[in-house]
Chain A
């Protein structure tokens, strides 16, 4: 989308100023000509006209250098990083400073202010916060640059092209609140009977990460290196847990299932590996190789499917772990076989 033209509108102060001017103008026409009366009206007109011109100049020529929006859960505020720059006037000259620039984003629910620049000289960045949004993926093709500067009488705005996405994924807490805290996926210990357990084969040593079991600490290596060291099992490295989401359900059930899947994706982002499977979707989320942003994006955009659609299919072997999500296991199934 190309940059639109600058649009000028009076602010509240400007509207009241115009009303006052109209009253004075009527009084001027009703009475005999007076030089000082004309001088005051001329001053008012100069103030308003030049104010509009300068407001136009204040936003004209602003470009979006960068726009980044961090993905956030439903109900959470998110950080926005906006970098604006002004076009060069002529070679070697300092760019004209701009004051009071607001950057607004259209997230589908109206324009929301993402950042505010008190002074923009050449290039400047600002971090702001956007209010909570509904679940979904919103394509941001334009950012609105607005200003009331210099006199607060006229608001000038211009829509500048940009390319960004606003991803709002499901709230991972919903499933917990609705159906209790799901049991986390357990690693294969190898010693646990009947199914889920952990491998006994030592694959290597690695630094301790939050969430590791105290029982896996290699004490001798820890003493030698002076920091906690964990015994890494072979099965941990190879273990991949499929998370299957069947979207042939009602919207409320889907939201619950997506919430639970989001919790797994967020957990796998730090540790472990999961394969997110649904109709038309198969994504691997791995702590080392990534994949979480794509998965969160898919979770943000997922929609209900009709019951006539086929069931989710996975390209990998049969899953190796069972995960009992809650009261509706039929809609979020993580199946595993020992």
Chain B
């Protein structure tokens, strides 16, 4: 392997380590020695000629391999990914430290590509895409230098620099071709694959509310656009309508299923939230801090779930039309509805006043313990590991709210959203925790709840609807069946419940407003990443339409871009012509430079050929070759001035 190639292979190995680090599946402490050995390989490789050095390296790799295999087989499948990734980068580091001058580095290239490939399944943020771009800009030039230096012949610095310059447009061309293929190649985004179709469930599930949340439902979902509720603010903007409307609350998790919050679990109906009290005029009221600031008119068209949809901030509720139903207040400050006569059932209509609810005074220690409980037997170890790793990044005295916000942001950035039955959906919670598969809102909420509970922070899962869509008339907000959603409520020390939504699309919009420039850039990258990883037929149609209408929507920008490209092409052609004309000067300069490097002087009347004849035998071959080429170029220019070469 040529010495010119080694720095590029070191850069490849560093990027491979970064790929593995970006998956968060491997602890930094495990990767630290590999980082050090990769950087030190520039020096260490010189020891490769010593047999003892090679024996030590090979022995160390064998020992680490045995330990990894033992670890993977004894700690379960969840660690197999971590151990596999460590082994792959260990092989890479071993190669660049031990490859001899006569050996070919083919395996380094294959290994690097496979590491990038495998980590793509476990990375869920824009960092992987940035690393992939960097990887391409090192991988392609490394291949080019390898193709040129495979003959074990010395390559002088001029040719090496020319090769690296030549690699830039090629890398850009490959990146452009890849982007074109990704954007426009026709394919079936819903394809299951002949393995997946063998394991698919037979029936579809409809997205909607349920009385219990079972996580490992993988059947395809049917998204209905039927409107569930319509919310009209009275005398205020649409933005005053809360986004999260609660239906059911779940507090007990058995490892795969969330069960509804029951007063019996808490010891008292009043143990978690301030309760609804019926007033004499039929209004339902609960304790609030301050006067209500917003009034909403709500029409609930679908009450089949048996619950009334209310936001956390609801402090007054005035039923207008119950549609033949009775209301039963629940311990989580919601209402169950009991249908008395199905034939007379109509939509629910009610008014809601919003304010900050006052924390309950009856919050018992048992209730707090209940909301922080974890399943004893089927608690995923990976969740505990993740929690410990995340917790270590923060000081011990960090407050729970800050910690919960950080966890929420991390989940939004590092896990992917997908509906059940769609390609890449997690078959179980473990896959989602690992990051190897995507999940829907219930997975996000469950993960957040588990990680908070691992730290003893009381929280619960809430099911309801996400309200973000304005109605056609623009006077109200609506929620459809497809907007069924799950999120987490965290109990702070003062007894206030705080809403945390870890599902990516929900919180990004609210967080980007008023954020710093880095947050804006990060947000844009995350949005771009979401578009790439979630690209589908609809996305492609939108992209095509956007490109087709670009000259109409942005005529100045399009014209400016076309003009810039034309100017760049003209400039490049002019530069080539100038280079041609300047070759007459450059051949003399080149000859002088070659003589300078050899510390030779041109005697008066001496021709370049005579200088070549008096070159000492011990002259370095690369320098002698450079002088020969410079002399030949000078002769060509001097004696064939009309030649275009």
Interface residues of A (CB under 8 A from B): 12-13, 16-17, 20, 24, 29-40, 42-47, 49-50, 54, 85, 88, 91-95, 97, 99-100, 116, 118-119, 122-125, 148-153
Contact = CB atoms under 8 A, between A and B. Distances in A.
B150 A152 contact: yes
A24 B116 CA distance: 13
A44 B178 CA distance: 9
B550 interface: no
B532 interface: yes
A287 to B, nearest CB: 24
A54 B195 CA distance: 38
A116 B166 contact: no
B247 to A, nearest CB: 31
B645 A85 contact: yes
A99 to B, nearest CB: 6
Contact of A16 (B106, B120, B182, B193): B106
B518 interface: no
A94 B576 contact: yes
B143 A150 contact: yes
Given A33-B187, A50-B174, A92-B580, A152 B143 contact: yes
Contact of A151 (B143, B162, B195, B532): B143
A122 B193 contact: no
A230 to B, nearest CB: 27
Interface string B138-150: 0010011011101
Contacts, number: 143
Given A45-B181, A93-B573, A151-B147, 4 more contacts: A33-B192, A42-B185, A46-B174, A124-B632
B178 A13 contact: no
Interface stretch (B37-45, B151-159, B520-528): B151-159
B364 interface: no
Q: Pick the most buried of A54, A149, A150: most chain B CB atoms within 10 A of its CB.
A: A150
Given A20-B110, A35-B534, A97 B423 contact: no
A93 B580 contact: yes
Contacts of B191: 32-33
25 contacts: A29-B194, A32-B192, A32-B424, A33-B187, A35-B182, A36-B532, A36-B533, A38-B182, A38-B187, A46-B178, A50-B170, A92-B577, A92-B644, A93-B580, A94-B577, A97-B162, A116-B151, A118-B148, A118-B159, A123-B636, A148-B147, A149-B147, A150-B147, A150-B167, A151-B140
Contacts of B532: 35-36, 39
A27 to B, nearest CB: 9
B182 A150 contact: no
B181 A95 contact: no
A32 B177 contact: no
B625 to A, nearest CB: 9
A92 B580 CA distance: 7
B579 interface: yes
B136 A13 contact: no
A33 B189 contact: yes
Main secondary structure on chain B at its contact with chain A?
Answer: helix
Contacts of A99: 144, 147-148, 159, 162-163, 166
A97 B170 CA distance: 14
Contacts of B394: none
A76 to B, nearest CB: 21
B110 to A, nearest CB: 6
B589 interface: no
Contacts of B576: 93-94
Nearest to B632: A125
The 4 closest A-B pairs by CB, nearest first: A122-B645, A32-B423, A152-B147, A46-B177
Contacts of A125: 632
Given A36-B121, A50-B173, A122 B644 contact: yes
B535 A35 contact: yes
Contacts of A88: 644
Interface residues of B, number: 61
A47 B144 CA distance: 12
B196 interface: yes
B574 to A, nearest CB: 10
A43 B143 contact: no
B201 interface: no
B509 interface: no
Q: Pick the most buried of B113, B114, B185, B632: most chain A CB atoms within 10 A of its CB.
A: B113
B598 to A, nearest CB: 19
Nearest to A65: B645
Contacts of A50: 170, 173-174, 177
B144 A150 contact: yes
Nearest to A13: B106
B148 A54 contact: no
B190 A39 contact: no
A257 B535 CA distance: 82
Contact of B116 (A40, A119, A149): A40
B117 interface: yes
Contacts of A20: 110, 113-114
A150 B170 contact: yes
Contacts of A85: 645
B120 A37 contact: yes
Contacts of B120: 36-37, 39-40
B620 interface: no
B341 interface: no
A91 B573 CA distance: 11
Contacts of B109: 13
A118 B162 CA distance: 10
A42 B106 contact: no
A39 B121 CA distance: 12
A44 B181 CA distance: 11
A55 to B, nearest CB: 9
Contacts of B148: 99-100, 118, 149
Contact of A42 (B181, B196, B579, B629): B181
Contacts of A43: 136, 174, 178
Contacts of A93: 573, 576-577, 580
B189 to A, nearest CB: 6
B188 interface: yes
Q: Pick the most buried of A16, A20, A32, A100: most chain B CB atoms within 10 A of its CB.
A: A32
B577 A32 contact: no
A13 B579 CA distance: 36
Contacts of B150: 148, 152
Interface in B94-128: 106, 109-110, 113-114, 116-117, 120-121
Contacts of B159: 99, 118-119
A80 to B, nearest CB: 16
Contacts of A37: 117, 120-121
Contacts of A46: 174, 177-178, 181
Contacts of A40: 116-117, 120
Interface in B512-543: 532-535
Q: Pick the most buried of A17, A35, A40: most chain B CB atoms within 10 A of its CB.
A: A35
Contacts of A16: 106, 110
Contacts of B173: 50
A91 to B, nearest CB: 8
Contacts of A24: 117
A125 B628 CA distance: 10
Interface string B16-40: 0000000000000000000000000
A54 B193 contact: no
B178 A42 contact: yes
